[in-house]
Amino acid sequence: MNESPPAPSAPAPASTRDLVLTLGVVAAVCGLVIVGAYQLSLDAVTANRRAALERSVFTVIPAATSLAEFVALPGGGVAPATPGEVPPGALRFFAAYDAAGNLAGIAAEGVAKGYADSVRVLFGYQPGCQCITGLGVVSHRETPGIGDRIVTDKAFLANFRALDARLNAELSALASEIRTVKHGTKKNAWQIDAISGATITSRAVGKAVNDSAQALLPRLAPELEKVRKKP
């Protein structure tokens, strides 16, 4: 602060014009640098995001080789997703296709409050059996060694090999709500056996899957033909 410079930096206060000019020039140059950095990295960042998305969808739907993004509109109907914001009330989902271009499964994200923060999951849905056949965790901040076992625990992930997600007769909701039950008490195909000691996180996963399936599947069921073939 108490600079006693050998350099000829002016000890007299600078004029307002100089101050404005300095800040203006610095801000303008920095702005240009930021735009340049953004433009240079944009392609790589977009490709990275796409690759990460494909990787997680292909994990929950192993048969898939390509995917398309759709939105289920609030008034019913399904439309290809446009880049940018999802329209209000619409639900985003991914249709995954095998090498022949046939539907290999539907993937959708769900989110629920876990122990520390939101737990985001991606699940794979098979219209054929009306069941959930894969689960991946997109992001979480659960306790290492406890809650984060939802990512690795084989017994827990086995719940999502054929988790019942049939719709009721009116196609308005799931026939039976997907629920996480206490470790060791799973009786039905729509129940998830919690990890012992990580019940709160297990419940969050169940709630995330249930909420998302309850909202998406009734809208998707009448429109399934639209996503059958690769667009």
Give the CA radius of gyration of the chain: 25
Q: Which of 63, 73, 146, 173 binds other proteins (CB under 8 A)?
A: 146
Name which of 105, 110, 111 is nearest 131 in CA terms: 105
Report if residue 152 touches other proteins, rule: CB under 8 A: no
**Which tokens belong to 86?**
């999802």
| Nearest residue to 137 (alpha-carbon basis) of 102, 105, 111 | 111
- What is the helix, strand, coil percentage profile of the chain, to 5? 35, 25, 40
Name which of residues 54 to 113 contact other proteins (CB under 8 A): none
Q: How far is the CB of 19 from other proteins (least distance, A)?
A: 5
Strand order in the sheet with 91-97: 78-80, 66-72, 91-97, 103-113, 118-126, 131-139, 163-164
Binding status of residue 151 toward other proteins by CB under 8 A: no
- Is there binding between residue 40 and other proteins (CB under 8 A)? yes
Tell me the closest approach of the beta carbon of residue 190 to other proteins, in angstroms: 32
| Angstrom distance (rounded) from CA 33 to CA 28 | 9
How many positions of this chain bind other proteins (CB under 8 A)?
32
**Smallest gap from residue 28 Cβ to other proteins (A):** 10
Identified binder of other proteins from the candidate list 2, 5, 152, 188, rule CB under 8 A: 5
Which candidate, 176, 192, 173, places its Cα nearest to that of 184?
192
Q: Does 117 bind other proteins (CB under 8 A)?
A: no
Where along the sequence are the contacts to other proteins (CB under 8 A)?
A: 3, 5-10, 13-14, 18-19, 22-23, 26-27, 30, 33-34, 37-38, 40-41, 44-45, 48-49, 52, 139, 143-146
